[in-house]
Structure formats: C-alpha cells, structure tokens
C-alpha cells in the first residue's frame, strides 16, 4: 500500500523490518496463545510499544497517520501481533496522558520502559478510602497482558453500595493501574481467532490503588503530551482497531492473489483465468483501498481539528468511529472472498488466509466496532440538520 502523507517513515520502516519474524512466529504464537518472546523483544527493541507515548516520557509521540500505518503494517504481518501491539500501545498512551505525575513517575521512571495492558470497561468496583480506592473485579480480554508490567482495570465507583455519578451527572467510571504482581491472570484464552493475543481473563481482588494511579474514564484530562492526542481516548482507541482491520484485509487479498497464480481446481480452469475471480478481486481490492483512504482522511482531519481547536467536532469524532467500523466490515468481506477462493489451501491450519479469516472475524465481535457505532454517526448528522 502507498504511504499516507506525513507518515514517519522511520517508525513505519521499523514495523516493516519485523514482518518476516512476526509472520514466521505467528503459528507458534497461536499455539502458546500469546506473542512469542522473540516477537515481544523485537517490538521492544524497535520501540514500537511506545509510539503513542509523549516524548517527555521517552515515547515517539507519533501523529495519528503514523500510528495507523504502524498498526496496519504489523497486522498485515500477523493479526494477533498487530492487535496485541495496538492494545499495549494505546493502553500505554492513556497511562502516560491522564494519571497524576506521582503515578507516571513510578510507571515510566524506571530503567526499563513499561508495557501496560488491560480492560478499560467498568467491570469492577471501586470504593473510595484513604486517598485512593479499594478495587475488585473480574476482567476479560486483557489483550497483550502476557508480557505486561502494569494492568489497567475499569471500575464503577460505589457509594453506599450504589453506583456513583459525577457532578456532571455522568456515571463515575474510573480506570486504575496496578502492577502485574497484584493481578491474578487466569490464562484461559481458547478462541477461534486472534488466538495469539494473550487476551486472558484476570482478577483484581480487594486491592488498594492510590488515586494518583487512576483517572476518570468519561471526564479525563490530558496532563502531558502535545495536541496530537486531542482526538481523545475514544479516537485513539478507534485508530488501533482501524489499523488492525486495514492490515488484515490487505494481507488476505495479497495471499489469495498469490494462490490464484498457481491454483487450479479439478475440472476447472486456473483461478487466475476465471472471470468471476478477476471481477470480484478487483471489487474487494477497491473496497479495501477506499476504506483505507477514508480511515486516514477521517483521523487526519480530526487530528488537525484537535491541533487547531483543542478537540475535534462531534461529527469528526463520530466519523472516526464510522470509518473504523466500516473498514472492519470491508476487511471481513475481503477475508471471506479470499478464504472461499483459496479452497483447501485456506482450510489447512497454518495458512495465512485461514488466519486472516479467523482474526478479522474475531475482530468484528469487539464492542468497539458494533453496528451501533454506525447508527450513532447518523444520529449525529440528523441532530445537526
């Protein structure tokens, strides 16, 4: 794929240089249900975990187009690796942006830069006490937690046993950060797709977390870093999912094109000579490329508005979500096409086509690309007319 304007070619080049290693370890990662030590170390050495961490904390503070391109490239090599990296990188971004200085000094002030992971959804509870909170909760989908030093955990603040609300009348949802040794990881990741992401369940059992190591989910305040982060927590999260979808969709089409050059089913003309394949490939290729263009356009426009005005408009924020969900649907359709035409090649374990098919369909199940994100976009437009 072409490089989008203003993408940091050094960071993107680091991701591309790891493609062979990542692809080669993909099957082993699925078998062990988490990224291999070699891949984790390579991502560390390339400093890709910290692409969206502010420069003042040792990160790259990448613009959104660069982050998208890096997530796309890693996901093209292997969906599980791209997904894990984007989960770690976005979690690290929020750990760097929103908590108080005292917590950031601890998490980012050591000799080795940290990796964070975890579920931000408020599946746990928090009760205020002694300058912090007593936190408990059972969490799922801790993608990338197999190599994490710190865990994030979303909680709902409780007052007298009831969910609390903020002064603005919003649910008092909070994200807390705990060292890995204060979390019980269940290690129960047995799934169809994204099998190598280490998205384990984990449990927090009545742990004390100082308030400095927390931030309000819905009313967060950026404390460090530049205006590139002004697209907000939900925009940054969307970028990770969009880059993943673009990479997996592209890989599926690349794989089936290579297969078509050599494959011939019994009693039929070679796939590369069949008009239906030629026509449908062109349509899916165009759709993936179009979704990519729209993703980059939407996110870059939102970032420009954040730099100029402090935040994107409501419509621009909704457009990032719309573009992400649409790109995921387009990529799933491309993977379906690739799997169908790959025939028995796609059926066999170890096939990149099969892995793309499983990974993107696992990705479609994520709440972040639920179809309600599309209805929200239309509702926003209706409210403005």
Which candidate, 244, 236, 134, places its Cα nearest to that of 178?
A: 134
CATH fold of the domain at 227-383: Butyryl-CoA Dehydrogenase, subunit A; domain 3 (1.20.140)
**Three-class SS of residue 149?**
coil
Geometric angle at alpha carbon 217, from 213 and 219, rounded to 5°: 105
Average pLDDT, the chain: 96
**pLDDT score of 5:** 59
**Which part of the chain is CATH 1.20.140.10?**
227-383
Whether the CB-CB separation of 285 and 253 falls below 8 Å is answered with yes
Whether the CB-CB separation of 85 and 144 falls below 8 Å is answered with yes
**pLDDT score of 268:** 75
Model confidence pLDDT, tens digit, residues 191-247? 999 999 999 999 999 999 999 999 999 999 999 999 999 999 999 999 999 999 999
The domain over range 118-216 is classified in CATH as 2.60.15.10: no
**pLDDT score of 110:** 86
**Which part of the chain is CATH 2.40.110.10?**
118-216
**pLDDT score of 4:** 60
**Which part of the chain is CATH 1.10.540.10?**
9-97
**pLDDT score of 182:** 98
Q: What number does CATH give the domain 9-97? A: 1.10.540.10
**pLDDT score of 3:** 57
**pLDDT score of 257:** 97
Q: Which helix (H) or strand (E) holds 25?
A: helix 19-32
- How far apart CA 297 and CA 301 sit, in angstroms, is 6
Burial class (CB in 10 A: 0-12, 13-18, 19+), 233: buried
**What are the C-alpha distances in Å from 195 to residues 33, 218, 363?**
5, 31, 11
- pTM (2 d.p.): 0.96
Q: What is the mean pLDDT of each run of 10 residues along the chain (385 residues)?
A: 75 98 98 98 98 97 98 98 98 98 96 95 96 97 97 97 93 97 94 98 98 96 97 97 98 97 79 95 98 98 97 96 98 98 92 97 95 92 87
**pLDDT score of 104:** 98
Token pair of 171 as six digits = 């649910």
């Amino acid at each position: 794929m072409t490089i989008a304007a203003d993408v940091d070619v050094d960071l993107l080049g680091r991701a591309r240089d790891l493609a062979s290693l990542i692809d080669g370890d993909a099957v082993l990662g699925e078998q062990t249900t988490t990224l291999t030590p070699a891949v984790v170390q390579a991502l560390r050495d390339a400093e890709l975990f910290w692409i969206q961490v502010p420069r003042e904390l040792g990160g790259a503070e990448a613009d959104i187009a660069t982050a998208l391109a890096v997530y796309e490239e890693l996901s093209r090599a292997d969906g599980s690796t791209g997904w894990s990296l984007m989960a770690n990188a976005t979690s690290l971004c929020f750990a760097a942006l929103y908590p108080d200085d005292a917590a950031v000094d601890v998490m980012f002030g050591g000799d080795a830069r940290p990796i964070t992971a975890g579920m931000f959804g408020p599946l746990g509870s928090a009760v205020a006490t002694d300058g912090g909170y007593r936190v408990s909760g059972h969490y799922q989908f801790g993608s990338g937690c197999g190599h994490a030093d710190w865990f994030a955990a979303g909680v709902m603040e409780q007052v007298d046993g009831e969910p609390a609300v903020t002064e603005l009348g919003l649910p008092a949802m909070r994200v807390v950060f705990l060292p890995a040794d204060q979390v019980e990881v269940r290690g129960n990741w047995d799934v169809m797709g994204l099998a190598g992401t280490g998205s384990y369940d984990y449990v927090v059992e009545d742990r004390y977390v100082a308030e400095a190591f927390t931030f309000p989910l819905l009313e967060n305040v950026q404390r460090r870093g530049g205006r590139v982060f002004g697209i907000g927590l939900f925009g940054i999260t969307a970028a990770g999912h969009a880059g993943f979808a673009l990479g997996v969709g592209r890989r599926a089409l690349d794989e089936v094109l290579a297969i078509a050059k050599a494959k011939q089913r019994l009693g039929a003309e070679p796939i590369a000579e069949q008009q239906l394949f030629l026509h449908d490939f062109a349509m899916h290729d165009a759709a993936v490329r179009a979704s990519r263009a729209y993703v980059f356009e939407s996110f870059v426009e939102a970032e420009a508005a954040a730099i100029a005005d402090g935040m994107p408009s409501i419509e621009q924020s909704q457009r990032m979500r719309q573009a992400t969900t649409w790109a995921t649907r387009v990529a799933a359709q491309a993977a379906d096409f690739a799997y169908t035409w790959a025939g028995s090649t796609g059926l066999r374990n170890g096939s990149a086509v099969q892995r793309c098919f499983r990974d993107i369909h696992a990705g479609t199940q994520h709440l972040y690309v639920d179809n309600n994100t599309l209805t929200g976009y239309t509702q926003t437009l209706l409210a403005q007319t």
